[in-house]
Amino acid sequence: MGIEPVFRVHKCWLSSSLFQLSSRDSEMKAAGSNDGVHTLYFRRERLEECCEASEMCADLITDIATTIGELQDSGRVKELVSTLLSKGVPPLEIVEKGLRRGLDVVGRRYEKGEYFLSELLFAGVLVGDALEILEPCLRQRKVEKEGVMVIGTVRGDLHDIGKNIFKMLAQASGFEVHDLGVDVDPEAFVKELRETKAGILGLSALLSTSKPEVKVVVDRLNQAGLRRKVRILLGGNAVTKDFAEEVGADGAALNAVEGLKMCRKWVVRK
């Protein structure tokens, strides 16, 4: 069975649904771009299998969200993740529709006073265990270097699950990523940007109290004369596109895939 052009899809669909498939599928031969449309060349059966897998496995993905939301055992979450991977469901779909939705449930229950800090902690552990299984798939892909970026969670904020997912995707896509971790002092961002000459700064913020910290970093970059050389991208539940505009950042991403798309666009335009 030869490899043939299958069909043309829009870029957004490619990166959201097929990002992992295309990177993982050794049978895929080439993806050319023209006006935002990609022509894919790989075995037709493989593509159809994967698209069907996501639909058939919707219940299992929901099970992951429920298992995390109800804080059941880590073994069950890991088992579900492994089953879904073996059925060909793209890892990013498991992250966004399974893990992230489960954590949203935990967050809502915390807000209502049904869960406490210990439950937030345990949910973080459950998701960390699941990500250990997903990590090799999220990282799989070796391509030419796309660019250099510095990332970190702003001062006072210890959340890093989402930032780490973005980091894995960015590295897999060819970015050299300097991750400063969590609770990062604004000065440390400036120092690292100078040393690495990175063109992109990715800031993660999940707490409402982290929002002023984002502004502090943007202002500090301005004072240091770096602002015009560095694109600033925000991520995490505390930030919105309006907020990014308000503080003078270049954009905010709703999820890791969208963030990566923005970074790629910036690197190409440079």
- Enumerate binding residues for ligand B12 (CB under 6 A): 100, 103-104, 106-107, 110-111, 117, 120-121, 123-124, 151, 156-163, 165-166, 202, 204, 206-208, 233, 235-237, 253, 255-256, 259
Which residue's Cβ lies closest to ligand B12? 162
Q: Which is nearer to ligand B12, 15 or 204 (CB)?
A: 204
Least CB distance from residue 43 to ligand B12, whole Å? 29
Sole residue written with tokens 């089953």: 83
Nearer to ligand B12, 40 or 233 (CB): 233
CA 143/CA 24 separation, integer angstroms? 12
CA distance from start to end of the chain: 41
**240: helix, coil or strand?**
coil
Give the integer Cα–Cα distance in Å for 212 and 268: 31
- Closer to ligand B12 by CB, 90 or 236: give it: 236
CB of 134 to ligand B12, least distance (A): 11
Output the smallest distance, CB 83 to ligand B12, in A.
21
What's the rounded Cα separation, in Å, for the pair 254 and 81? Answer: 23
Of 35, 11, 31, nearest to 262 by C-alpha is 11
CB of 261 to ligand B12, least distance (A): 10
Q: Name the minimum Å distance from CB 38 to ligand B12.
A: 22
CB nearer to ligand B12: give 47 or 249. Answer: 249
Read out DSSP for 116-156? -HHHHHHHHHHHHHHHHHHHHHHH-------EEEEEEEBTT
- The conformational region for residue 252 under phi > 0 = left, psi -120 to 50 = alpha, else beta, is beta
Closest to ligand B12 by CB, 43 vs 220, is: 220
Nearest distance from C-beta of residue 72 to ligand B12, angstroms? 15
Which C-beta is closer to ligand B12: that of 112 or that of 269? Answer: 112
